[in-house]
Amino acid sequence: MNYQVLARKWRPHNFTEVVGQAHVITSLTNALKHQRLHQAYLFTGTRGVGKTTLARILAKAMNCENLQDFNPCGQCDICRAVDEGRFLDLIEVDAASRTKVEDTRDLLDNAQYAPNQGRYKVYLIDEVHMLSGHSFNALLKTLEEPPPHVKFLLATTDPHKIPVTVLSRCLQLNLKRLLPSEIFTQMGFILGQEGIVFEPDALKLISRAADGSMRDALSLLDQAIVYGNGAVSNDEVHAMLGSIAQQPVESILHALSQADASAILNQIDDLSQLSPDFSDLLQQLLQFLHRVALVQHVPTTLTHDLDAEVVAHLAQTMSPEDVQLYYQIGLLGQKDLELAPDPRSGFEMVMLRMLTFRPVQIGNAQQPVQVQQPAPQIQARPQVQISPPQVAPIQPLQSAPQVSNAPTFSDNWETILAKLNVGRFVKEFAKHCVLESLDDSECRLNLDPEKANLLDSDVTAKIETALREMFSKPLKLTIDVKALATHTPAQQIIQAQEHRQQAAVEAIYQDPNVAYLQSHFDAQVLPETIEPF
């Protein structure tokens, strides 16, 4: 009854056993080789890719008494103590359950003391992003100047929630999602060692369902072994995952490549007897089309594909244009499944739409429809050329005279502002003023009442000094807060921007190509994305 799940039983104990993270392992082994260990490491990545596992292996390697090619030996007292969870100098903390600042302070109180057994006292904090703000501040104090015998190993699935002050003091190592082929190979190895019979197609299904996580893959594998009564078979895994068989997906794609509507509908009719999830079926089709498109442009991507032969065949029988069209229609058709009377009819319409909009073949050339004069019945995919909108130049709200090098008392406030030698903040403040009067002795400005909180003596003094230097006169500056009869320079800039934006939006809506896309393809204009030139 003391069964140990595969994810724990086959957890790597050294760097050579880790799957799919060669870039991180190289960095860590080189650091050990040259004795350039950082004070804090941050392991990031999605769930089940090896963050905590690599942190434990690194902690073991830091303290191992007999490194083997910079890999923990696994035989010394320290390695065995780490593996058995009794190494006193490895302090593991789950930040999700200890978020309070008091917990963090209690944890770090003993950091100043020397290690009990090993060279380093290692703090391994999992899901570190769950710490509170005060806890991060308490941690930061030790991170800034840690004792030489202390190392921090942090792990998280969400590094964006960690303060930049903490991130800047860590060496960040990003773990990648595992490829299905890497998961497939590891599961085959484990089942061989366990003496469990399996079918390769069943492992392929689990490899895809794991979504890049080795831990999820091994959990599903445990479930499949129990579900299959000690064996891992294709049919049992299909039933367990609730997914349809792979073969119908391939058959539908082959029929699609031949533009055979009857074969597609017959295949869907056969599938409907199994009550499949048509949304999942469409997802699998899109995944296949994605891999076909990759192979058509970069053939070397087949190296890691579990269905290399099928993908290669489809890449040869489908044109790149068709693949892109099918993928886009399938992607947009996902939302139609929810709106359709039933999922089957929605899926059938998506497939028929792919055939309907497939370009007409005349000889070896595809004949596009001209957009300028659309025919009532569209049988080919139109090639739309959308020209950027030509926005008419916007006239300024208030014409300004030509700015000369030498300022005069007749200049308006905008002209004076352009020449005023003040800092950015002071100039922004001055843009909220209008000029009431200016002569040899005094400059009087009126300030927008909404910006009265920005007025202070320091700003006034800086503007007054700049005006005296500009006009070479002992001018006195007076700023009154009062209702304004005219627009300030800041308001004029905003209004000009609004007018230009409105002109750009109108130019898009009046564009004939945009109107064509709206009427024939149900296109939508997003006004918030339009920007004037």
The tens digit of pLDDT for each residue in 25-41 reads 999 999 999 889 999 99
Confidence (pLDDT) at 173: 93
What distances in angstroms separate CA 464 from CA 370, 415, 425, 431, 455, one per listed residue? 65, 16, 15, 15, 13
Confidence (pLDDT) at 387: 46
The ranges assigned to domains in the chain are 6-174, 180-241, 246-359, 413-486, 493-529
Higher-confidence residue of 372 and 210: namely 210
Phi and psi for 121 in degrees, rounded to 5? -95, 115
Q: What is the mean pLDDT of the chain?
A: 84
Q: What value does the mean pLDDT take over residues 412-437? A: 89
Q: At CA 297, angle to CA 295 and CA 303, rounded to 5?
A: 35
Q: Each residue of 464-509: pLDDT tens digit?
A: 999 999 888 888 999 999 888 888 988 888 888 888 888 888 889 8
Nearest to 17 by CA among 74, 90, 92: 74
Nearest to 243 by CA among 271, 266, 211, 212: 271
Q: Each residue of 164-213: pLDDT tens digit?
A: 999 999 999 999 988 888 899 999 999 999 999 999 888 988 988 888 89
Q: Each residue of 378-400: pLDDT tens digit?
A: 333 334 444 444 444 454 444 44
Is pLDDT above 80 for 131?
A: yes
What distances in angstroms separate CA 52 from CA 49, 65, 88, 175, one per listed residue? 9, 22, 18, 11
Q: Each residue of 68-108: pLDDT tens digit?
A: 888 898 889 999 999 888 889 998 888 888 777 887 888 88
Amino acid at 397: L
Is pLDDT above 50 for 370?
A: no
Domain 246-359 listed as CATH 1.10.1740.10: no
CATH code: domain 180-241 is: 1.10.8.60
Write the burial class of residue 217 (CB in 10 Å: 0-12 exposed, 13-18 middle, 19+ buried): buried
Q: Would you place residue 336 in the very low, low, confident or very high pLDDT band (cuts 50, 70, 90)?
A: confident
Pair type for strands 476-481 and 442-447: parallel
Instruction: Give the integer Cα–Cα distance in Å for 154 and 44.
Output: 9
Pair type for strands 150-156 and 121-126: parallel
Instruction: Give the integer Cα–Cα distance in Å for 472 and 465.
Output: 10
Confidence (pLDDT) at 246: 52
- What's the CATH superfamily of 413-486? DNA polymerase III, tau subunit, domain V (3.30.300.150)
What distances in angstroms separate CA 152 from CA 18, 62, 71, 193, 436, one per listed residue? 21, 12, 19, 35, 64
Asked, colleague to colleague, whether 180-241 and 246-359 share their fold, the answer is no
Token pair 């773990």: residue = 175
Q: Each residue of 207-241: pLDDT tens digit?
A: 888 888 999 999 999 999 998 888 999 888 888 87
Q: What value does the mean pLDDT take over residues 440-451? A: 90
Q: Would you place residue 527 in the very low, low, confident or very high pLDDT band (cuts 50, 70, 90)?
A: confident
- What's the CATH superfamily of 6-174? P-loop containing nucleotide triphosphate hydrolases (3.40.50.300)
Phi and psi for 277 in degrees, rounded to 5? -90, 105
